[in-house]
Amino acid sequence: MTAVSRMGPADGHLPNGHLPSGHLMERMPAVRGRLTADAPLAPVTWFRVGGPAEVMFRPADADDLAAFLAALPAEVPVTVIGVASNLLVRDGGVPGVTIRLGRGFTDIAADGMLLAAGAAALDLNVAMVARDAGIAGVEFLSGIPGTIGGALRMNGGAYGRELADVLVSATAVARDGRRLEFSHAGMGFTYRHSAAPEDCIFTGAVLRGEPGNPLEIARRMAEISDKRADSQPVRSRTGGSTFKNPAPEISGGHKAWELIDKAGCRGLSIGDAQVSEKHCNFLINNGTATAAQLEALGEEVRRRVFEASGVTLEWEIKRIGVEFSPSPPRGEGRDEGVRRQPDAPADGSPSPQPSPRGGEGDMADGGHA
């Protein structure tokens, strides 16, 4: 695999031999940011697994993003990633264009009790700016290892609060390049979900806190950090909370980790993919796990929980890309050796079968889903 990067106008003048004829890179419009062909994604995901992005685009700013999307052929699929902390990239990689927002989307500014943050701003950094400005009520963001864009997409929450509690408005760019703005009501927040169009890309948000003592805010953030370290496998290759907590009326008041534990899945493994013994709503990569093994393990957990309790767990981790398959013979289409991996049913049995591993660990709910 040869990665080719370029900045500036995408005029199709690429070094001979660097890319096969007909590569998607040849169809990319002019940009001010960076375009990269066959960009490795595994190094940027917390699981450290997954295939490459067919094309990666890092826009310079919102104007660059909007112009790119307006000029990009409508049939080219677009996928957006952040810091990839709650993401599983399948082993065959991600077809089309993968967009990752960078420095042009990381600004954070406090004005009274309002916080304006770019979509690529880390949740922790937003909480730290709020602390220094004496803005309380957003400490929970320090316990979410992601970005504001990700929190907007899934109504991110932890330790008793969620983004819906503090959001004023959000900005985004539509797939056709139109600039969008959403009010709080327009986001249609529910548990770990927003009703904003799936194909829009968030660029920023305005949050509202309340007056607070910086020392008290710092104390609360330290408590969150300690609880997270005590109850979650924060030093492991993980993707965060794997499954959403089911509605209490469905689960009998049990959280996802409790249902997983009751189904005997703590420590369950497929190869180096394992259900964490410390917090069994986390999957971890102990070394050489593949995305396929991690996803199969998650589906096996869903199957066992359904058999044990009748509850169908819903994935919280976002899964993107296609399943790996050997490359087609030279001369055949680029995508002919790859097939899409559909979501497995709750009662489906993956292959290979997992084997039990480990014993009882600390049963704790770290608050992040």
Which residue numbers are catalytic? 192, 241, 316
Of residues 43, 40, 57, the one with CA closest to residue 6: 57
Q: Which pair of structure tokens corresponds to residue 46?
A: 């917390």
- Helices marked H in the chain: 62-71, 123-132, 148-154, 184-187, 214-231, 248-251, 256-262, 291-309
Contacting residues for 292 by C-beta, under 8 A, at least 6 apart: 90, 91, 323, 324, 341
Report the alpha-carbon distance of residue 299 to residue 10 in Å, rounded: 41
Considering Cα of 289, then 295, then 301, then 304, what sign does the dihedral take?
A: negative
Cis bond leading into 352, ω under 30°? yes
Beta bridge partners of 158: 161
Report the alpha-carbon distance of residue 368 to residue 365 in Å, rounded: 8
Of residues 330, 348, 130, the one with CA closest to residue 221: 130
Half-sphere exposure of 324 (CA within 13 A, CB side): 14
Of residues 14, 218, 239, 254, the one with CA closest to residue 129: 218
Task: Report helix angle 123-132 to 214-231, nearest 10.
Answer: 150
Beta bridge partners of 237: 285
Are 115 and 207 within 8 A, CB to CB?
Answer: yes
Please give the radius of gyration of the chain, using alpha carbons only, rounded to the nearest integer. 21
Pairing of strands 269-270, 34-39: unpaired
Report the alpha-carbon distance of residue 198 to residue 276 in Å, rounded: 31
Report the alpha-carbon distance of residue 359 to residue 151 in Å, rounded: 34
Phi-psi region of 5 (alpha: psi -120 to 50; beta: other; left: phi over 0): beta
